[in-house]
Chains A and B, each alone.
Chain A
Amino acid sequence: GEDVEQSLFLSVREGDSSVINCTYTDSSSTYLYWYKQEPGAGLQLLTYIFSNMDMKQDQRLTVLLNKKDKHLSLRIADTQTGDSAIYFCAEEGSGGYQKVTFGTGTKLQVIP
């Protein structure tokens, strides 16, 4: 089946940029997503990118997609302590139905 990989931890200083990386195996992915999970809460959709796009920017968030290498990244500019959370990338395959595969999640720790 499809596989989505992320590193487990990332630690950055407040005000710096954070880059969270993700690799996936399904070459037929249609949409790729980034979700944020704060402690004790469910997942919140942060942003998404369609597979025919290379980049998407949304305020402090920049998503880069390298479809050839099947590599997705999320850059958070001017990282704040409120950005501390677990970030999941997820990919949705083609096939006319929604089957989303999530990565293992990256825990972002922001140091004041």
Chain B
Amino acid sequence: EAQVTQNPRYLITVTGKKLTVTCSQNMNHEYMSWYRQDPGLGLRQIYYSMNVEVTDKGDVPEGYKVSRKEKRNFPLILESPSPNQTSLYFCASSPRPGTGDLRAFFGQGTRLTVV
């Protein structure tokens, strides 16, 4: 079954304690992205990756890091989380443009609370 898997689904942590949210896709997609969803703001892109070892900043990258060492995995790292990073996070993957397939697959979301 084609899917994007995020872990954990829920996380409560304290300010400053480093954490990683994992994302894995089984569709051999080249493109992967991280978004955060906040009430009234919709989804905002944090980082995206066009392929292995190729990453770039989205609209709200401050306070986040990503890596793309393998095609299937795209972890989101918060080196020193702060309360303003409390949000619902989504990972997404999609084929590269030009393949004729525009479907983007989203993970189930990770609800992060930083206290």
Binds A, one of B13-21, B63-71, B77-85, B97-105: B97-105
**B interface SS class:** strand
Interchain CA distance A98-B35 in the complex, whole Å: 14
Interchain CA distance A104-B50 in the complex, whole Å: 25
**Cβ contacts under 8 Å, B43 to chain A:** 43, 88, 90, 102, 105
How many chain B residues touch A (CB < 8 A): the figure is 27
CB distance from B86 to the nearest CB of A (A): 17
Q: Is B107 an interface residue (CB 8 A)?
A: yes
Are A104 and B59 neighbours in the complex by a CB distance under 8 Å? no
Interchain CA distance A41-B41 in the complex, whole Å: 18
A98 with B31, Cβ < 8 A, contacts A42-B107, A43-B90 known: yes
- Mark A90-108 against chain B: 1 for CB-CB distance below 8 A, else 0: 1000001111111111000
Residues of B whose CB lies within 8 Å of any CB of A are 4, 31, 33, 35, 40-45, 48, 50, 56, 58-59, 90, 92, 94, 96-97, 102-104, 106-109
